[in-house]
Structure 1
Amino acid sequence: MRIFTTKMCFCFLLAIFCAGVGFAQTTEECNENNIQIFVSPDGDDNNPGTEAQPLASLTGARDAVRRIKKVNKKALSVLITIKDGRYEMREPLLLLPQDGGTEEYPVVYSAEEGAVPVFSGGKTISGFKVLENGIWEVVVPECKRYNWRFDQLYVNGKRAILARTPNKGFLKIGGVNQHIWERGTERVADKAQQILSFDEDNFASLQNITDEEVEDVRFRAYHKWDFTMRYLDKMEKDSTRIYTSGKGMKPWNPLFKGGRIVFENYAAALDDPGEWYLNHHGTLYYFPRSGETPENTEIVAPVLENLISVEGDAVNNNLVENIRFEGIAFTHCHYKIPKTGSEPNQAAALINAAVMLEGAKNISFVDCEISQTGQHALWFGKGCSDSNVEHCYLNDLGGGGIYLGDFSPQQGNSHTRNIRLHNNIIQTGGQEFPSAVGVWVGHSSDNEISHNDIANFYYSGISVGWIWGYDHSNAKRNTITNNHIHHIGWALLSDMAAVYTLGKSEGTIISNNVVHHVHAYSYGGWGLYTDEGSSDIVMENNLVYSTKTGGFHQHYGKNNTIRNNIFAFAKLYQVQCTRVEKHRSFNFQNNIVVFDEGVVLKGSWEKIDIYMDNNLYWNYSGDNYDFNGQAFKEWKKSGNDKNSVIANPYFKDALKYDFKFKNKRSIKQVGFIPFDYRLAGVYGNEVWMRKAKLPLSIIEAFDHEVKQNLEKK
């Protein structure tokens, strides 16, 4: 719902004139507290900003607001009305405390009714000629003259692939040696060299790398829950070895023999449709997809590394407040890969976002879109509060969707809190940084994450908490409810989940979510995962199905409650637990667990301190029930599941994922209370609902990766 409509009477003010002021208030306003400014692709930032003479940019509109406030000291509601069309941003929109409004008189940047303005941080590249081999070629003047480089490219609205080897799948590392150069004081060495060796078959495709190209070649090596991206220092073709340097490998997550790796950014790798390569001399090459011609193709290279930056001072309570963005699309934001590459970092937490906020209060994004980024979409950092992201479409992201909070606990105004993420579609992320997540909540509290559709990520869907163990955490009282989280993992990384938690999280509730199709490369691939130190979390009324390693897993934590959930059709184990501790780890009660392969329980079940009872178990493929190596009767002798049953829950058609009940005879025995899982996910009109559905091609590709992964095991 828009704060302003075109039917409301606005007067703009006026007139231009004197340098330094540029705007003066008219005396003929119909509402002296409302100001309207117009922005158009055909405008000019030297214009007064009227509908007849609009401005040309968001920055021009911001500056107009500043001039208005300078000459008019009373509170004003400002509506910046943005006309339809595409805008090429020459600089990020920087908003400071002076650019905000009040609760009663906000500043609103809004699309004109019926318009879909698109703000691009990219540059269109044209003038391609077609070579004899079908490759397109163009010299980019800025690259040739000024050494401009870009690390992402978009062709007809689709992310192109930086030339890589192999085109599909991975090469295998033959061996890894590390030389520590600077030890430092931490477990990870400050500086080290890694030497990766390969057998001849895995190195053959690299023999065509020229000496001139070596310093620009990058590799991506995938390991456990993360990946390492590095440039090469040296290549020895005779010995089939590469040399790279940076920080030392993490002992708990190193590169290793047999690990998967790809190489990118060299000419000989440009051998598959959709790939591109920019050489040292500023020449861009593109291998077209079927049907693409230079005449019907738009190619955009991202330029700006940030599209919106909101910079308040939380420490001194000088915040940017009461600004709303509505109906605007932001696209083509560049992430420049530094020469140090990217060291492994969980959840890709060390990269930035296209829209960065700090020291901000009551900032809203409604009906907006952020797409085609090299990094995360949006980050409410230190000192953000009482803000809202609703009905937004975040897609084709190099990193994650929305990140909340900081890496360490902040106090007072610097603590991020009370952010509402509601009814958003957050899909197809991790395209450059696969360890990124859909929604990340660091040291941030009292947030609501509800009715979102989060899909097509390589690591976790939602990650909450940022402490490994029982030290102080500010991730309290977060509510994760009614989300639809699906097609997560893609058999690329491990140790991940649709909903992943860390640390002490008193008051956090994870409820009424629908989670499905979660698949890790090796271990992991859970629906709900309470990892290191997760404590005082309630997980209830969730439907979790079609996961790899289990509907629920607790590594270690304290006093968690897992109740009234449906866990269905995990491939290997239905429910897992790992570390034994001296305190109560979790309560598991009133749950339904159904399956047709794998075992029921796996882990330290006989030793761990839990309360487990009034659960229903059912095997759709027969009468084999493996409770951590025991039959059900033997398992009950441990003191757990005394009142639990093996019984058909009478779902309407569980094998087709219809978990409505035909009757409630069995579930009444264990006190299970039915919930309407159909309410999870986004809601709204037919267009919005259709947008949330993944294309069939993505679903089929996911299923193919899962099948291949299971066959390899």
Structure 2
Amino acid sequence: MLRRVFLLQILLGWFIAITKKLVTGISYKSASAAPLFSDVEPIIFFVAPNGNDAWSGRLEVVNPENSDGPLATLEGAKIAVRNLKSNQSYIDRPIKILLRSGTYFLSQPVLFKPKDSGSINQPITYQSYPQERAIISGGKLITGWRKEIVNNLEMWTVDLPQDSSNDWQFQHLWVNGNRRSRSRYPSQGYLQVEALDTSKDQAWHEGHDSLQYYEGDLPSTNVSTFEGAELVVMNRWVESRLPITKIDPVQRQIYFGKSSVFKLAPGDLYYLENSLDWLNTPGEWYLDRQQGKVYYLPFPEEDISTTEFIAPVLSTLLVFRGNIQKNRYVQHLKFKNITFSHTDWHLPQNASGYSQNAWGVPGVINAIALKNCTWSYCTFAHLGNYALELADYCQYNRISYCLFSDLGGGGIKIGRKLTKKTGSNISERTSYNQVVGNHFFNGGKFFHSAAAIVVVKSHHNLIARNNIHNYYYTAISVMGTWGFEPTQAYQNLIEHNHIHHIGKLSNGDGPIISDMGGIYTLGSQKGTVIRHNKIHDITALRYGGWGIYLDEGSSYITAEHNLVFRTSHGGFAQHYGKENLIRHNIFALGDQAQLHRSFKDLKFAREGNFISFHLENNIFYWQKGKFISGLGRNSQSHAIFNHNIYWKVDQPNFLLGGLAWKRWQQSDRHSVITDPLFIAPQEDNFQLRPNSPAWQLGISKIGRD
């Protein structure tokens, strides 16, 4: 599996490398300036599975005397570099650490401090040996499997080692490089909540500690033990992971040891997992934590003598900790062509989830005060949490041409925890980071509301030319705070990304949650630009499957030259905001609507006497559903519509905001109803023909180069 991922990554990097163009418009400083003396021969250390941290690491292979050779661990290499730099005879030169192929199982995270930094002319590079691939793992091999008949099925079981170094509580298991699911009911699909306790007057953000299920939904109430069993329920835009304490078959009630994140509603989707009684599908497993025993139901083609099992034991692999009080950063480190795998992370005892983006789930790469560092052509795969987190004071870092796949959480987090207060929070100084040319797919496997890329209260970041698909929630989320107050989320550039199959995955699974966007923003973000993105197949469960979604307070944002099509609820949505410029976009084939404007948006615009948005030089093209949802006849109030093309296929007498064309046109004099003449929209080709009326309206090039 990792070999296939590696080949995909190389092809992705090659494709982007030959097609990328110079970014223009907004100034984004380089993540790491080129060294002045790039021809200086680097000092090289070698790391290999058969190495020894007591050796020098300067030899590529073990010498004949077996007295020197490569180092054995990443930690050993870091210490060797630190010792070299402290040597008075050391002359500054670039340093490379080359890791030979193999899996390097960590016993604890590797911690980098300011003294482990390189410099602009002497960077320190950690990379796989040419044409090889090193894997940094937070897991352990599980061996000693045997065959055993359990519940009338032939399973593989193993008794886990019981000693002070092992506390087996893992929630993930990888078999021959593939994620295997915990025992689950139903094995595929979801159940629906029938009813809830309504005796308490709950606000929407106050959770439930029980639910009622439909008669016949649970096949048996004779669950042998609830130890470790969970109910996972999806509600609004989050999931809640709830430990099951009791099932009452008479009242058809399931009781939890925690409350859900938000107030639940009838019809919410849920499933049960992690009980031996639900282990009946090949590829599923169950951990009996009390007995220290794992049960696995194999696929017919799997061989007990050759199958490899890896369980995660660490939640973090690399930690970077600068000292901002002393103005000392960890900086000028490079990581290239390395795979990071096999981690786990548990919710705190009092939490069942998080209010947005699974934000509290940390990254396996976790940084504070990190500067001028890069990750290129790396793979982040088979992880239980977020992959990479640039938290406080992280500046001028670059993540490029990496592959992010099979993630329990999301891909990248930039910034610090979201709060409603603005102030001078230290996270507001995280800025000028770049996420370019990466491939994100199959995320949110455990924490379903995680996003591929999340930027919070951080400015001047570049998110460009990424391919993002198969997430249950939003692809790119850029957030300030709720409302119109200025925040440190400004001047971010989101361009040339391809975003698709968000909400409903390409394999048909989902949608399971609501209120999402291909690209999502929150709060006032002056100077933020969303341009030249291709966004399609965005689907939500109840509401809010939007292509570009400007949520509460989103203001002073420009969205231009984007192609958005096949969304469940509309190509563009604005909850409420101020002076947003939406121009030269194609919004096509929305299912329920093409555009959404909430009542709150008009309310705030009237109270403040401002323009909510300028919608100019766009093409709206649809076959079913209405033009605008939310507002009806007041859709144009405190908003500018101008020089747009509207076309509902084969239905020339459609309404706009509940109004006939002549009435609508009184406030939209330069727009027209006409076929835009796409080349082949039925084949997802929305290029304009030479005789398209769009050219006469001044609509310029749209879409992703």
Which TM-score tier does this pair reach, normalised by the shorter chain? 0.7 to 0.9
Residue 212 of structure 2 is aligned to residue 197 of structure 1? yes
- Report matched runs for 1:417-428 at 5 Å: 417-428=431-442
Amino acid at match of 1:169: G
SS of equivalent to 1:634: helix
Q: Distance in 2 between matches of 1:321 and 1:531?
A: 35
Displacement of 1:145 after TM fit? Answer: 9.7
CA-to-partner distance for each residue in 1:634-692, whole Å, 9 max, x for gaps? 2223x1x21111112111101111112222441123210124x352xxxxxxxxxxxxx
Query: 3-state DSSP class of the match of 2:216?
Result: helix
CA spacing shift, 1:338–1:629, aligned 2, 3 Å: same
Letter in 1 for 2:147: V
Distance 2:444 2:671 in 1: 41
Equivalent residue, structure 2, for 1:612: 641
Partner of 1:234: 246
Asked if residue 61 in structure 1 is aligned to residue 77 in structure 2, the reply is yes
Structure 1: how far apart are the matches of 2:147 and 2:357? Answer: 40
Confirm whether residue 42 of structure 1 aligns to residue 50 of structure 2.
yes
| 1:507-543 deviations in Å (ceiling 9; x for gaps) | 1000000001100011010000101000000000000
SS of match in other structure, 2:591: coil
Distance 1:428 1:605, change over 3 A: same
Rounded to whole Å, the distance in 2 between the matches of 1:57 and 1:147 is 23
Find the partner of 1:70 among 66, 86, 102. Answer: 86
The 2-side partners of 1:118 and 1:624 are apart by 60
Structure 1 counterpart of 2:497: 483
Distance 1:539 1:193 in 2: 39
SS at match of 2:373: strand
Normalization by structure 2: what TM-score? 0.86
Which residue of the other structure, out of 459, 463, 472, is the alignment partner of 2:473? 459
Match of 2:272 in 1: 263
How far apart in 2 are the matches of 1:328 and 1:432? 24
In the TM superposition, residue 219 of structure 1 has moved relative to its aligned partner by 0.8
Matched-pair contact (CA < 8 Å) for 1:511–1:540: yes
Give the corresponding residue for 1:527.
547
Query: Could you tell which deviates more after superposition, 513-522 or 613-622?
Result: 613-622
> Residue type of the partner of 1:273?
P
How far is 1:193 from its partner?
A: 6.8
Q: Is the 8 Å Cα contact of residues 232 and 244 (structure 1) preserved in structure 2?
A: yes
Further displaced range: 229-238 or 422-431: 229-238
1:88 equivalenced with 2:105 (yes/no): yes
Task: Specify the alignment match of 1:653 in structure 2.
Answer: 680
Structure 2 unaligned spans of 5+: 1-38, 62-68, 505-510
- What does 1:495-534 align with in structure 2 at a 5 Å threshold? 495-534=515-554
CA distance in 2, matches of 1:221, 1:604: 31
Return the letter of the residue paired with 1:530.
L
The 8 Å contact of residues 219 and 229 in structure 1, kept in 2 or not, is answered as: yes
2:313 to 274, 299, 303: 303
Q: 1:143 to 1:372 in 2, by over 3 A?
A: farther
Contact residue 453 and residue 484 of structure 1 kept, 8 A: yes
Deviations 1:292-323 (A, max 9, x none): 22134222111111111111122431211111
Q: Distance in 2 between matches of 1:341 and 1:261?
A: 18
Secondary structure, counterpart of 2:556 in structure 1: strand
Q: Could you tell which deviates more after superposition, 98-107 or 447-456? A: 98-107
Equivalents in 2 of 1:219, 1:472: separation in Å?
Answer: 39
Instruction: Tell me, yes or no, if structure 1 residue 636 matches structure 2 residue 665.
Output: yes
- 1:218 offset after TM fit, Å? 0.9
Structure 2 distance, partners of 1:175, 1:255, is 9
Query: 3-state DSSP class of the match of 1:214?
Result: coil
Q: How does 1:172-321 map to 2 (within 5 A)?
A: 172-177=192-197, 194-202=209-217, 204-205=218-219, 207-210=221-224, 213-246=225-258, 253-279=262-288, 280-321=290-331
Q: 1:139 aligns with which of 159, 166, 172?
A: 159
Q: CA shift at 1:411, angstroms?
A: 5.2
* Superposed CA offset, 1:435-479 (max 9, x none): 000110101100000000011100001001131111231111000
Are residues 1:355 and 2:365 paired?
Answer: yes
Residues in 2 aligned to 1:134 and 1:413: alpha-carbon distance in whole angstroms:
53
Q: Quote the Cα distance in structure 2 between the aligned partners of 1:412 and 1:274.
A: 45
Partner of 1:155: 175
Aligned residue for 2:528, secondary structure, equals strand
Say if 1:662 and 1:257 are closer, same or farther in 2 by CA, change over 3 A: closer
Question: 1:282 offset after TM fit, Å?
Answer: 1.4
After the TM superposition, which residues 596-607 of structure 1 pair with which residues of structure 2 at under 5 Å, given as runs? 596-604=623-631, 606-607=633-634
Contact 2:476-2:518 at 8 Å conserved across structures: yes
C-alpha distance in 2 between matches for 1:167 and 1:81: 43
**Corresponding residue for 1:15?**
none
3-state SS of 1:59 partner = helix
CA contact 2:354–2:360 (8 Å) conserved in 1: no
Separation in structure 2 between the aligned mates of residue 429 and residue 569 of structure 1, nearest angstrom: 26
| Alignment pair present for 1:622 and 2:642 | no
Encode CA deviations 1:571-591: one digit per residue, 9 max, x unaligned: 110111112122211000000
CA distance in 1, matches of 2:445, 2:145: 26
Residue 129 of structure 1 corresponds to: 146
Match of 1:684 in 2: none
Measured in 2, the distance between the counterparts of 1:261 and 1:497 equals 22
**Matches of 1:179 and 1:415, distance apart in 2:** 46
> C-alpha separation between the residues in 2 aligned to 1:65 and 1:145?
29
Instruction: Provide, for residues 37-78 of structure 1, a one-character-per-residue CA deviation record: whole Å limited to 9, x for no partner.
Output: 111111111111112300011100011112112223654422
The sequence identity of aligned pairs, in percent, is 33
- Could you list the per-position Cα deviations for residues 117-176 of structure 1 after superposition, in whole angstroms to 9, with x for gaps in the alignment? 112211122232233423221212248995522111111221111111111222232332
Deviation at 1:206?
Answer: 5.0
Q: CA deviation at 1:328?
A: 0.8
Distance 1:505 1:276 in 2: 46
Per-residue deviation, 1:488: 0.2
Deviations 1:211-230 (A, max 9, x none): xx224211111111111111
Tell me, yes or no, if the aligned pair for 1:143 and 1:281 is still in contact at 8 Å. no
What is the distance in 1 between the residues matched to 2:632 and 2:324?
Answer: 47
Decide whether aligned partners of structure 1 residues 649 and 106 sit closer, same or farther in structure 2, where only a CA change above 3 A counts.
same
Q: Which residue number corresponds to residue 130 of structure 2? A: 113
Cα shift at 1:259 = 2.2
Contact kept, 8 Å, 1:477 with 1:508, in 2: the verdict is: yes
1:392 aligns with one of 402, 427, 443 = 402
Aligned equivalents of 1:447 and 1:672: distance in 2?
Answer: 28
Taking the aligned partners of 1:600 and 1:94, their CA distance within structure 2 comes to 54
SS state at 2:345 partner: coil
Looking at structure 1, the residues matched to 325 and 427 of structure 2 have their Cα atoms a distance apart, in angstroms, of 6
2:22 corresponds in structure 1 to none
2:413–2:453: 8 Å Cα contact kept in structure 1? yes
Does the Cα contact within 8 Å between 2:40 and 2:94 map onto a contact in 1? Answer: no
Larger deviation, residues 148-157 vs 437-446: 148-157
**Offset of residue 412 of structure 1:** 6.8
Amino acid at match of 2:496: N
Conserved 8 A contact 1:180-1:193: no
- Contact 2:172/2:180, CA 8 A, preserved across alignment: yes
Q: CA deviation at 1:570?
A: 0.8
Aligned to 1:97: 114
Report the residue type matching 1:196 in the other structure.
L
Task: Count the aligned residue pairs.
Answer: 635
TM-score in terms of structure 1 length: 0.85
Q: Provide the rounded CA distance (Å) in 2 between the counterparts of 1:630 and 1:359.
A: 55
Counterpart-to-counterpart distance in 1, 2:199 and 2:54: 59
Gaps of 5+ in 1: 1-30, 680-713
CA change 1:143–1:215 in 2 (3 A) is farther
CA change 1:386–1:678 in 2 (3 A) is closer
SS at the partner of 2:130?
coil
